[in-house]
Amino acid sequence: MHPEGSNMYLSIETILDKNMNSTTKRMKKYLWIFTLIYLVSCSNHNSEIIPLDISALMPDTSDGLTINESREHSERIYTMMIENTVNRKIPEIYVYDTLNQRVKLKSMLDNKNIIISADAYCGFGKESMMKDFPEAIEKYRTQHSDIDLNVICLAKESPEDKQNPDQFSDFVDDLKSKYSNLYIIKNEEAHKLNLHANPVRLYVNEDFVVKHFDVGLSLVEGNLYNEIETNLYHLSNNK
């Protein structure tokens, strides 16, 4: 836990005992509640991303799922991914550049970072990586030329790629024309970042903390740009 936080509370408790009056008696329990909230908040920001085991969350589909059941299950997994990722730090993760050199992901992060990831087998992920996201980023950089933005593209290498290496190789070659910071992330490392959807976008601050987590293809024009603008504003203002 946080011994310094506990000491902070104990020192306040001591002061209250020495200067006890009717007001402090009423306030003691509220002070304890606020202290706990502070400690939980502090602990959450200092902890790393918790990998989510998607396979363990898969429902029993032997009798089939209704549309509502399928939607509720997807929403539950998405909520858990957010809870396990947002306001948590990027762990020690290694990726590979296009020359197959192993590098630490954290070493490439700057003050304002967007990490986008998808694999070669999802049409929605590929479309977002190749068209929607680059267009939204170009628009953002045009309108916010004073913002130093660091975009990292991660091509997720899945077990299926071993059976069809040409498809993954073509995917990486296509991404080279869109991203200067392009890296390959192995499936095991991708799980440590909860990169279970296609595509996934992580907004990461200078302390390696994920401040926003989003997935999917934008179906409404302008939505992705608004997402980028809003979350980079929050990163710039430490929100």
What pLDDT digit, counting tens, does each position of 92-134 carry?
Answer: 999 999 999 999 999 999 999 999 999 998 888 898 999 999 9
Q: How many domains does the chain have?
A: 2
Least confident range from 9-23, 76-90, 121-135: namely 9-23
Cα angle 182, 135, 120; round to 5: 45
pTM listed for this prediction: 0.77
In whole angstroms, give the CA distance from residue 138 to residue 149.
11
Name the residue with higher pLDDT: 54 or 156.
Answer: 156
Whether residue 29 is found in the same domain as residue 96: no
Range of the domain at 13: 3-46
The yes-or-no verdict on residue 3 having pLDDT over 60 is no
What are the distances in angstroms from CA 162 to CA 148, 158, 167, 187?
37, 8, 10, 12
Whether residue 39 is found in the same domain as residue 70: no
Whether residue 26 is found in the same domain as residue 102: no
Whether residue 126 is found in the same domain as residue 204: yes
Amino acid letter for position 183: Y
Compute the average pLDDT of residues 181-203. 96
